[in-house]
Amino acid sequence: MKSKNFSTWLDNMKLSHPLVIAGPCSAETEEQVMAVAHELKNTDATVFRAGVWKPRTRPGTFEGNGEKALPWLQRVKKETGLLIAIEIANAEHAKLALKYDIDILWLGARTTVNPFAVQEIAEAIQGTEKIVLVKNPINPDLELWIGGIERLFKMGVENLGAIHRGFSSFRKSKYRNIPSWQIPIDLKAKYPTIPIINDPSHICGNRDGIFEVSQIALDLKFDGLMIETHCNPDEAWSDAKQQIKPARLVEIMDELKVRKDRFVKEKSISKLNALRKEINAKDDQLLETLSERMALVESIGKAKKESNVAILQNTRWQEILKKVIDTGEEQGLSKIFIEKIFKAIHQESIAHQEKIIND
């Protein structure tokens, strides 16, 4: 799958880089929509977002104005020159988005989880030249995210992009949706031409973390940001806690540092190359040590087999874990990191011993 290059669609549409998509969570009233749009007109935002059909967790809350709000967005485009973007969640939404000439359509997290819904949308917008962005599914499943993008691509939708909005989790966290950055990084590695936009609003679930998450996204070379913006956030009809005022968006964009793609100065390049050589040598050493450790594990496996002893020796494992965490922390490595690494090593060791014992 090779979607049209992001820079091509950015150039074609004369969009900024990083792309800034801003606007309210929901299109509440025509006045509210116009007020936010006019305030965003002179900011870094080049695309205006607003939810017209709102997927809500419980019924009885505001579920969007539907088709009635689409002419409001057309007015935004006419009066401000901003491109307009909405979420579509089924074939009917998709057809209406095309009918009202919406520039950018996005599939929400609750839609990407459902291949039937994605397929239905892909068929409804077959061959469209509109930009279509696919939010990550609610659960941390890279394949499902890719599957959504592929379904659209197979139907001739080529101006594709992804939106990273974090993943729902039972784990207690400062985030509303945990970013799990490695997942969008893996997506980018697999499909380098597909642009990824970060949505710090739905990741944070509050206003405070938006700058920090946006900066991480730019440091990781995300192609854009989607930030929920409202003139009166506290009174918003949905996602009130996470929306920011347009003036705050301007501050955030001013403070964010956009990093260069690569080192350009000769001196920095040779320094970097020397450091990279050292890193490569360290990686070789790490692999050698791991493989030597595994050889020892296998000898222990043989001894366990001879004496018919169980593989898991929990007391010993707990001792190892405690020791490595203590030593690691003394050397400036975090407990979480050491735990992850040593649990992985332990699992690989068990797998090697399983093979020996059951051979």
The yes or no reply on residue 25 touching Mn ion (CB under 5 A) is yes
- Smaller CB separation from ligand PEP, 135 or 230: 135
Q: Judged by CB, which is closer to ligand PEP: 51, or 200?
A: 51
DSSP code for 167: B
Alpha helices per DSSP H over the chain: 6-12, 30-40, 70-80, 91-99, 109-112, 115-124, 142-154, 182-190, 200-204, 210-219, 246-255, 266-306, 314-330, 335-358
Q: Which residues contact 324 (CB under 8 A, 6 or more apart)?
A: 338, 342
Q: Which stretch binds Mn ion (CB under 5 A): 184-192, 211-219, 234-242, 269-277?
A: 234-242
Who's near 241: CB < 8 A, 6+ residues apart?
Answer: 205, 206, 207
Q: Does 239 bind Mn ion (CB under 5 A)?
A: yes
User: In sequence order, which residues have a C-beta less than 8 Å from that of residue 124 and are 6 or more positions away?
Assistant: 91, 92, 94, 95
Under 8 Å CB-to-CB from 139, ≥6 apart: which residues?
A: 113, 167, 168
Residue 87 beta carbon to ligand PEP: minimum distance, rounded to whole angstroms: 6
Closest CB 25 distance from ligand PEP, rounded Å = 5
Residue showing the smallest CB distance to ligand PEP in the complex: 108
Query: Could you tell which of ligand PEP, Mn ion, none binds residue 18, using a CB distance below 5 to 8 A set by kind?
Result: none
Report if residue 133 touches Mn ion, rule: CB under 5 A: no
* CA distance linking residue 173 with residue 159, whole number of Å: 34
Min CB(89)–ligand PEP separation in Å = 9
Identify which of 215, 136, 212 has the alpha carbon closest to the alpha carbon of residue 180: 136
How many angstroms separate the CA atoms of 232 and 288, rounded? 59
Nearer residue to ligand PEP within complex by CB, 39 or 87: 87
- Going from the C-alpha of 184 to that of each of 46, 80, 87, 217, 237, the distances in angstroms are 23, 32, 20, 10, 30
Residue 25 or 97 having the CB closest to ligand PEP: 25
Residues that bind ligand PEP in the complex, under the rule CB under 6 A? 25, 51, 55, 87, 108-110, 135, 165, 202
User: Which of ligand PEP, Mn ion, none binds 223 (CB below 5-8 Å, type-dependent)?
Assistant: none
Query: Minimum distance from CB of 237 to Mn ion (Å)?
Result: 10
Q: Which residue's CB is nearer to Mn ion, number 25 or number 297?
A: 25
Question: Which residue's CB is nearer to ligand PEP, number 102 or number 109?
Answer: 109
Q: Three-state DSSP class for 141?
A: coil
Instruction: Write down the least CB distance from residue 86 to Mn ion, Å.
Output: 12
Pick out residues in 67-126 that bind Mn ion (CB under 5 A).
Answer: none
Q: Which stretches of the chain bind Mn ion, using CB under 5 A? A: 25, 239
